[in-house]
């Protein structure tokens, strides 16, 4: 019998019972170790529980944060800072529901609060070998710890609240090996965009991706989170990186991490969560990380990615008529011409934030580009830390001063312009260099044009006032 | 959940790939704490212009598709955000079935939680169906029991669907009730794996 993959091992250790109709089929009931919740995808779930007279089974395995809707200014005022009545009601509903169920909540303004996928790891809640769910697609982020982390819908949120389990069928497995040493100026975001560009936005459908190879092992935990965060943009059910010394060093001493004898026991257990050498994957993709240039998206899907030195493709070159039609629409929406070099395209807004790139290393890297430089006069630039703790850390290191001196607005934590549910939005036809994860039509505001890129590339775009190659900003 | 057995309805074509959940239901409609009333936001930016005026050329604004119960879409339908508000909005609008060459997984799964039937057919078949519904005012039939789609011209296409999911949709079963039948197994799992220090897997 061949060895088992990391995914198999997590799966096997969480099967509660077969859950198919009449106990048949291949649907399984999986135990869920950690359930992260936020204001947008939970009100209807709690309402459903209440209507059915059910209780939250394991409030101690659930953690609530306020992130999607929150304003990124004035958070110390609490809910008073939320100008939008509907958003305020939604946040208040979360506070009430969490309170009534005995679920720990980090309210807006609490230094521990922030984007759900930044907070879980930062608190040491996300750990190797776990099953983690959240009513949010980018839950895949937590796979960086070697945890099976799944985005779910609201009905499933209700199901997990009621039963602490999830009904699942096993996915296929895809190993993406990133080998070699990336060039200077190329980081985790570029690796992730390269993977999506290679396999396509639906390329991972039906699969759980395990990222491996020397370029992945060399990444910090924050880089691995960026990589796994974007697994969902390749269509995958989840992303995984096997835990190693980097993982353990990150977790050690975090508030929810085990300590003392429990730490040693946990290390022994965690070390087993890796694919056996003879494990067989359903698919394999190998990418040469040394060949990857800083990347930028040109279209309306994260798969529409090119090197910063590249040119906007000509839709006429796409053989598939559906692809051609969507490329034509994308160019029209984005206001770009076929064959136009992507570098030099002027930007109006720069956004450094989101669960993809709002951790301390992202701000350090961007600050290194911004130090002693100024944002171009016509550019509005926003820096939005992923959590209150990231913000505090950045301020302790003096990074906020660098961002401010450069002309960035230094904001309070939240999803902000990644989803534009709060007041941070693009206006129609505004062009944004963004470190977020989705360049979909209208994602950052109706009519807004998004170019996804890494934090250092966004910093370079802010200074140049146009899409620019960060490698020309060396020191 | 509403059971789904057989649907006879007009089908509306929306032949675009990668229609994400934010296009299905834009973010400004996510601030609600209710499930109902989301039809007003369905495909909002396709249906209305910047001033909130209906765009007459958009398929669901055309009188012949007013009563549409089926949507025929492009590949990777429902990608992006996990919001279940997207299937809620489709159903609130009166749609009960989406036919596409492929669906994003979370969306696909969310459909089954709500009685919205996602049907996967090969890209060539979906294109052919799109052409047929553009040319014909006759309804289509989607039969979940038989796992068939009957085109306006009467062509019968078979589709695959997971047996468990099909059964649950036919019966409109509540997943939580079903899982709670296994409560003893959940308790046994917790007993075997706990007590453990808080926060450990
Ligand atoms: S930062 Fe963006 S992608 Fe991440 S959880 Fe918030 S809205 Fe979703």
Measured torsion, CA atoms of residues B43, B45, B47, B52, in degrees rounded to the nearest 10: 130
Average pLDDT over residues A101-129: 98
Question: Among A314, A298, A320, A284, which residue's Cα sits nearest to residue A197?
Answer: A298
d(CA A111, CA B172): 44
CB atoms inside a 10 Å sphere around CB B198: 11
Measured torsion, CA atoms of residues A216, A219, A223, A228, in degrees rounded to the nearest 10: 20
Are residues A91 and A70 in contact, defined by beta-carbon separation less than 8 angstroms? Answer: yes
Q: How confident is the model at residue A22 (pLDDT cuts 50, 70, 90)?
A: low
d(CA A62, CA A32): 10
Are residues B71 and B90 in contact, defined by beta-carbon separation less than 8 angstroms? Answer: yes
Q: How far is ligand 1, taken at its centre, from the CA of residue A408, in Å?
A: 21
Q: List C-alpha distances in Å: B122 to A137, A355, B101, B158.
A: 26, 35, 5, 11
d(CA B44, CA B156): 33
Q: Distance between alpha carbon B197 and the CA centroid of its chain, in Å?
A: 41
Burial classification of residue A405, based on how many CB atoms lie within 10 Å of its CB (0-12 exposed, 13-18 middle, 19 or more buried): middle
Interface pTM, i.e. ipTM: 0.92
Residue B173's pLDDT is what? 85
Q: State the nearest Cα–Cα gap between B130 and chain A, in angstroms.
A: 13
CB contacts of B185 in chain A (<8 Å) are 16-17, 29
Q: Does position A248 have pLDDT exceeding 50, yes or no?
A: yes
Of all residues in chain A, what percent carry a pLDDT higher than 70? 99
Q: What are phi and psi of A374, to 5 degrees?
A: -125, 145
d(CA A57, CA A47): 15
Measured CA angle at A245 (ends A243, A251), to 5 deg = 75
pLDDT in tens, A357-370: 999 999 999 999 99
Average pLDDT over residues A168-174: 97
Give the tokens for residue A431.
């062009």
Are residues A435 and A192 in contact, defined by beta-carbon separation less than 8 angstroms? Answer: no
Ligand 1 site: residues with CB under 6 angstroms? A 67-68, 115-117, 136, 138, 354-355, 415, 418-419, 436-437
Question: Among A221, A211, A116, which residue's Cα sits nearest to residue A173?
Answer: A211
Nearest to B22 among A27, A41, A443 (CB): A443
Give the tokens for residue A460.
């370079």
d(CA A215, CA A160): 35
Helix A360-370 × helix A388-396 angle, to 10°:
40
Q: How confident is the model at residue A437 (pLDDT cuts 50, 70, 90)?
A: very high
Give the tokens for residue A304.
């529409």
Burial classification of residue A304, based on how many CB atoms lie within 10 Å of its CB (0-12 exposed, 13-18 middle, 19 or more buried): buried
Residue A2's pLDDT is what? 84
Query: Do the strands A62-65 and A34-37 form a parallel or antiparallel pair, or are they unpaired?
Result: parallel
Are residues B104 and B79 in contact, defined by beta-carbon separation less than 8 angstroms? Answer: yes
CB atoms inside a 10 Å sphere around CB A147: 31
Give the tokens for residue A269.
């257990």
Q: Please answer yes or no on whether B33 and A90 come within 8 Å at the CB atom.
A: yes
d(CA B118, CA B123): 14
Average pLDDT over residues A122-132: 98
Tokens 């492009």: give the residue.
B74
Which is higher by pLDDT, B68 or A26? B68
Residues in contact with A185: Cβ distance below 8 Å, sequence separation at least 6, in sequence order: A294, A456, A469, A470, A471, A474
Query: Do the strands A148-151 and A131-134 form a parallel or antiparallel pair, or are they unpaired?
Result: parallel
Q: List C-alpha distances in Å: A352 to A189, A286, A408, A423, A430.
A: 13, 30, 10, 16, 16
Residues in contact with B124: Cβ distance below 8 Å, sequence separation at least 6, in sequence order: none
The number of C-alpha atoms within 13 Å of A233 and in the hemisphere containing its C-beta is 29
pLDDT in tens, A314-329: 999 998 887 888 899 9
Task: Say which range, A28-37, A122-131, A314-323, A327-336, has the weakest mean pLDDT.
Answer: A314-323
Ligand 1 atom 4: the closest Cα is on which residue?
A355
Longest dimension (CA), chain B: 65
Question: Among A140, A315, A235, A321, which residue's Cα sits nearest to residue B76?
Answer: A235
CB contacts of A326 in chain B (<8 Å) are 16-18, 74
Q: What are phi and psi of A13, to 5 degrees?
A: -80, 0
Task: Say which range, A14-28, A96-110, A285-299, A345-359, has the weakest mean pLDDT.
Answer: A14-28
d(CA A26, CA A168): 8
Residue B194's pLDDT is what? 79
Residue B197's pLDDT is what? 46
Are residues A265 and A235 in contact, defined by beta-carbon separation less than 8 angstroms? Answer: no
Are residues B127 and A320 in contact, defined by beta-carbon separation less than 8 angstroms? Answer: no
d(CA A79, CA B161): 46
Q: How far is ligand 1, taken at its centre, from the CA of residue A396, in Å?
A: 25
Measured torsion, CA atoms of residues B55, B61, B64, B65, in degrees rounded to the nearest 10: 140
Question: Ligand 1 pocket check: which of A419, A435, A437, A440 to mutate, most ligand atoms within 8 Å of Cβ?
Answer: A419
Query: Do the strands A295-297 and A380-383 form a parallel or antiparallel pair, or are they unpaired?
Result: unpaired
Query: Do the strands A207-212 and A172-179 form a parallel or antiparallel pair, or are they unpaired?
Result: parallel
**Which chain A residue has the Cα nearest residue B28?**
A421
Positions of chain B with pLDDT lower than 70, given as ranges: 195-201
What is the three-state SS of chain B? Answer: CCCCCEEEECEEEECCCCCEHHHHCCHHHCCCCCCCCHHHHCCHHHHECCCCCECCCCHHHCHHHCCCCEEEECCCECECCCCCHHHHHHHHCCCCEEEECCECHHHHHHHHCCCCEEEECCHHHHHHHHHHHHHCCCCEEEECCCCEEECCCCCEEECCCCHHHHHHHHHCCCHHHHHHCCHHHHHHHHHHHCCCCCCCC
Give the tokens for residue B143.
């039969």
CB contacts of B167 in chain A (<8 Å) are 21
Q: State the nearest Cα–Cα gap between B63 and chain A, in angstroms.
A: 25
Interface with chain A: mutation pick from B32, B81, B122, B172, highest number of A CBs within 10 Å:
B81
Q: How confident is the model at residue A65 (pLDDT cuts 50, 70, 90)?
A: very high
d(CA A193, CA A231): 9
Residue A21's pLDDT is what? 61
Average pLDDT over residues A254-259: 97
């Amino acid at each position: 019998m061949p060895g088992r993959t990391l995914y198999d091992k997590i799966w096997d250790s969480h099967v509660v019972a077969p859950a198919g109709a009449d106990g048949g089929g291949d649907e399984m009931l999986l135990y869920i170790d950690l359930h992260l919740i936020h204001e947008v995808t939970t009100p209807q779930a709690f309402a459903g529980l209440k209507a059915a007279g059910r209780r939250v089974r394991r409030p101690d395995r659930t953690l609530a944060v306020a992130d999607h809707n929150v304003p990124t200014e004035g958070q110390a005022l609490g809910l008073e800072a939320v100008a939008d009545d509907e958003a305020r009601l939604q946040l208040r509903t979360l506070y009430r529901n969490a309170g009534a169920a005995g679920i720990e909540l980090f309210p807006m303004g609490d230094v521990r609060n922030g984007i759900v996928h930044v907070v879980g790891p930062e608190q040491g809640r996300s750990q190797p070998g776990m099953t983690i769910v959240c009513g949010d697609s980018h839950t895949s982020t937590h796979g960086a710890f070697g945890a099976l982390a799944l985005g779910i819908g609201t009905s499933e949120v209700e199901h997990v609240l009621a039963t602490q389990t999830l009904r699942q069928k096993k996915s296929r497995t895809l190993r993406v090996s990133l080998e070699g040493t990336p060039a200077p100026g190329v980081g985790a975001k570029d690796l992730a965009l390269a993977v999506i560009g290679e396999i396509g936005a639906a390329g991972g459908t039906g699969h759980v991706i395990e990222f491996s190879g020397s370029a992945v092992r060399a990444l910090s935990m924050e880089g691995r989170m960026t990589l796994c965060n974007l697994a969902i943009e390749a269509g995958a059910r989840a992303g995984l990186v096997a835990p190693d010394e980097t993982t353990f060093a990150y977790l050690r001493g975090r508030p929810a991490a085990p300590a003392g004898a429990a730490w040693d026991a946990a290390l022994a257990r965690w070390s087993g969560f890796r694919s056996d050498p003879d494990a067989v994957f359903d698919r394999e993709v190998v990418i040469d990380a040394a060949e990857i240039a800083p990347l930028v998206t040109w279209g309306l899907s994260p798969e529409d990615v090119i090197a910063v030195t590249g040119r906007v493709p000509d839709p006429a070159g796409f053989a598939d008529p559906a692809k051609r039609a969507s490329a034509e629409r994308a160019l029209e929406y984005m206001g770009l011409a076929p064959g136009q070099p992507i570098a030099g395209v002027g930007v109006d807004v720069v956004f450094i934030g989101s669960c993809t790139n709002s951790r301390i290393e992202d701000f350090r890297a961007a600050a290194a580009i911004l130090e002693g430089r100024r944002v171009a006069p016509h550019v509005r630039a926003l820096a939005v830390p992923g959590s209150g703790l990231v913000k505090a850390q950045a301020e302790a290191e003096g990074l906020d001063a660098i961002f401010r001196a450069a002309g960035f607005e230094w904001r309070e934590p939240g999803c902000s312009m990644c989803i534009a549910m709060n007041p941070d939005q693009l206006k129609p036809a505004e062009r944004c260099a963004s470190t977020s994860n989705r360049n979909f039509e209208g994602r950052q505001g109706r009519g807004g044009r998004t170019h996804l890129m890494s934090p250092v590339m966004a910093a370079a775009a802010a200074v140049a006032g146009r899409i620019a190659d960060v490698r020309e900003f060396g020191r | 959940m509403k059971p789904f057995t057989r649907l006879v309805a007009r089908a509306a074509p929306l032949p675009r790939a990668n229609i994400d959940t934010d296009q299905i239901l834009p973010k400004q409609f996510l601030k609600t704490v209710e499930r109902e009333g989301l039809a007003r936001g369905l495909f909002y930016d396709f249906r209305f212009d910047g001033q909130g005026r209906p765009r007459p050329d958009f398929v669901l604004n055309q009188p012949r598709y007013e009563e549409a119960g089926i949507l025929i879409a492009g590949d990777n339908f429902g990608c992006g955000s996990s919001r279940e508000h997207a299937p809620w909005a489709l159903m609130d609008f009166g749609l009960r079935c989406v036919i596409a060459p492929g669906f994003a997984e979370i969306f696909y799964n969310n459909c089954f939680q709500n009685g919205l039937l996602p049907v996967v057919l090969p890209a060539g078949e979906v294109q052919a169906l799109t052409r047929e519904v553009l040319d014909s005012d006759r309804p289509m039939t989607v039969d979940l029991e038989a796992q068939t789609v009957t085109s306006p011209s009467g062509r019968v296409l078979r589709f695959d669907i997971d047996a468990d999911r099909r059964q649950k949709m036919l019966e409109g079963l509540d997943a939580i009730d079903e899982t709670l039948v296994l409560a003893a197994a959940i308790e046994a799992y917790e007993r075997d794996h706990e007590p453990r220090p808080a926060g450990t897997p």
